[in-house]
Amino acid sequence: MRRSRRTRIVATLGPASSDAPMIERLFEAGADVFRINMSHTPHDKMRDFVAAIRGIEKAVDRPIAILADLQGPKLRLGTFAKGKEDLKQGQSFILDADPKPGDSKRVHLPHPEILEALEVGHALLVDDGKVRLVIKEASPTRAVTEVVVAGTVSDRKGVSVPDTVIPVSAMTPKDRSDLDAALGAGVDWIAVSFVQRPEDVAEVKKAARGRAGVMAKIEKPQGVERLEEIMELADGVMVARGDLGVELPLERVPGIQKRITRMARRFGKPVVVATQMLESMITSPVPTRAEVSDVSAAIFEGTDAIMLSAESAAGKYPVEAVAMMNKIACEVERDRTYRGVIANQQPESDGTGADAIADAARVIAEDLDMAAIVCWTSTGSTALRVARERPKPPVVALSPNLSTARRLALSWGVHAMRADDARDLEDMVERSCLTTVAEGFAEPGDRLIVVMGVPLGTPGATNTLRIARVPRN
């Protein structure tokens, strides 16, 4: 089973998509990757999701990627004696280390490390920015703030600190437990929330030990500031526009999205654009025109994947939301301007032999109107290098490692399959021809480019390309 579009679709699983028949319907509608939100998913349910997806994968004989999204360090207020309080603009309000229930003048902030890190002038955003506080006095046990944007605060509401570097790991004890369970279940990608520094990614990669790709979610100003360092270390990135739009002015988010997607392409790493893409489809069978334009803009930008969150996890129309994503992506990629926009964003070569081979494969395949570019890859790096070039012909990735094929299901334009190691170069070319015909990418008489590393089976050694013609008999 193959997709005709290059952009991938990530669908989040949840109450509206919790059983195998519904997950299968989402796959048939166009989902390539399934996201499991560990904030809301117990380990037993996560394992049920993985088992259902692997069953579908076996039935359709096509690798499907599974992304486990760690919750990260969630900051929350303590409780109030009355459950909630209305704060007025200009009033003083205190956050302190006292665990007693709060009132209209103060409340407990059960994060001593945050109180120690706050400085005068720093902002605190409560309940996704509905209430905004600015620090006037700061000490290790209390912070006196002024209410700049008034509103209601209530028990356990979330707190964001956009100006403050959180002096804690991106992994909480819950995340460590969730990570172990997800890796044990055999997920393909781990998403790390609230990444501020490259060390946050390194910590998860050390724990994962290559068993899953590690995706850095960019949703804090500190992560944006150190984006290039984070990108070098991560296996992929996510533009997490929800929290990014809380901690930064909303008008900055589109520009940051472009910066992240273009940098990810330069690094040759998958990038996912997420949050509120078809938000209205949580309750409506059709999206707004603005949402369609938003999704289209991400596709024109050349993002690897677009993601549905509550739309597929808890909405009334999960299948329709995935199908709409699929229709938008197919239409954009058919648009006469699409190839020109993608070509104008072509990144500069890194000056390595492997990148030169990938660029040459794209140029030759497009100039000679070849049916496909076939990449033999052990770790996935060959296919990622070719996908970075955003070639017009489809990219078929053949790997002896099923885990590699699954991870590549997230990458732009890559049709990944598991295949036994080739005996030699001629076997590799012959099987490339047979596979592309069997998968519907080529017909007898068509020409292909086969990209590989020699000696065969050497990870990261992309150094050879071969033009082949599919036999007519």
- Which residue in the list 164, 275, 436, 462 is annotated as catalytic? 275
8 A C-beta contact, residue 65 and residue 147: no
Alpha carbons 445 and 449: distance in angstroms, whole number: 13
HEC letters along the chain: CCCCCCCEEEEEECHHHCCHHHHHHHHHHCCCEEEEECCCCCHHHHHHHHHHHHHHHHHHCCCCEEEEECCCCCCECCCECCCEEEECCCCEEEEECCCCCECCCEEECCCHHHHHHCCCCCEEEECCCCEEEEEEEECCCEEEEEEEECEEEECCCEEECCCCCCCCCCCCHHHHHHHHHHHHHCCCEEEECCCCCHHHHHHHHHHHCCCCEEEEEECCHHHHHCHHHHHHHCCEEEEEHHHHHHHCCHHHHHHHHHHHHHHHHHHCCCEEEECCCCHHHHCCCCCCHHHHHHHHHHHHCCCCEEEECHHHHCCCCHHHHHHHHHHHHHHHHHCCCHHHHHHHCCCCCCCCHHHHHHHHHHHHHHHCCCCEEEEECCCCHHHHHHHHCCCCCCEEEEECCHHHHHHHCCCCCEEEEECCCCCCHHHHHHHHHHHHHHCCCCCCCCEEEEEEECCCCCCCCEEEEEEEECCCC
- Which residue in the list 45, 76, 174, 258 is annotated as catalytic? 76
Residue 146 CB-density burial (10 A; 0-12 exposed, 13-18 middle, 19+ buried): middle
- Which residue in the list 3, 6, 197, 217 is annotated as catalytic? 217
Say whether 12 is catalytic.
no
Residues 6+ apart with CB under 8 A from 133: 93, 95, 123, 124, 125, 126, 145, 146, 147, 148
Alpha carbons 49 and 44: distance in angstroms, whole number: 9
- Which residue in the list 3, 5, 6, 35 is annotated as catalytic? 35
Alpha carbons 306 and 296: distance in angstroms, whole number: 10
Amino acid 177 reads: S
8 A C-beta contact, residue 70 and residue 192: yes
Alpha carbons 38 and 19: distance in angstroms, whole number: 17
Say whether 275 is catalytic.
yes
- What positions carry a catalytic annotation? 35, 76, 217, 275
